A and B are shown apart, each in its own frame.
Chain A
Amino acid sequence: QVQLVESGGGVVQPGRSLRLSCAASGFTFSSYVMHWVRQAPGKGLEWVALISYDGGNKSYADSVKGRFTISRDNSKNTLFLQMNSLRVEDTSVYYCVRARAGFDIWGRGALVTVSS
Chain B
Amino acid sequence: SSELTQDSAVSVALGQTVRITCQGDSLKTYYASWYQQKPGQAPVLVIYGKNNRPSGIPDRFSGSTSGDTASLTITGAQAEDEADYYCNSRDSSGALYVFGTGTKVTVL
List chain A positions with a Cβ less than 8 A from chain B.
35, 37, 44-47, 50, 59-62, 95, 101-104, 106-109
Given contacts A44-B99, A47-B99, A108-B42, contact A102 B49 (CB under 8 A): yes
Smallest CB separation, B5 vs chain A (Å): 12
Q: How far is A31 from B24 in the complex, measured between Cα atoms in Å?
A: 30
The reply to whether the CB of B12 lies closer than 8 angstroms to some CB of chain A is: no
Find out whether the CB atom of B45 lies under 8 angstroms from the CB atom of A104. yes
Can you add 16 more A-B contacts, CB < 8 Å, to A47-B88, A102-B47, A109-B42?
Answer: A35-B97, A44-B86, A44-B100, A45-B35, A45-B88, A46-B99, A47-B97, A47-B98, A47-B99, A59-B95, A59-B96, A95-B42, A101-B33, A101-B48, A101-B49, A101-B52
A106 touches B43 (CB 8 A): yes
Residues from chain B with a CB closer than 8 A to the CB of A35 are 97
Q: Which residues of A contact B95 (CB under 8 A)?
A: 59
* Shortest CB distance A99–B (Å): 9
Closest 3 CB pairs of A and B: A102-B48, A102-B33, A106-B42
B33, B43, B54 interface centre (most CB from chain A within 10 Å): B43
Chain A residues, Cβ within 8 Å of B49: 101-102
- Alpha-carbon distance A97/B88, docked complex (angstroms): 13
Inter-chain CA distance A87–B14, complex, in Å, is 43
Of residues 11 to 62 in B, which have CB atoms within 8 Å of A's CB atoms?
33, 35, 37, 42-45, 47-49, 52, 54
A-B contact count (CB 8 A): 55
Interface centre among A102, A108, A109 (most CB of B within 10 A): A102
Residues of B within 8 A of A107 (CB): 42
- A37 partner residues in chain B, CB cutoff 8 A: 99
19 contacts between A and B (CB under 8 A): A37-B99, A44-B86, A44-B99, A45-B35, A45-B43, A45-B86, A45-B88, A47-B88, A47-B96, A47-B98, A59-B96, A101-B33, A101-B49, A101-B52, A102-B47, A102-B88, A103-B88, A104-B45, A106-B42
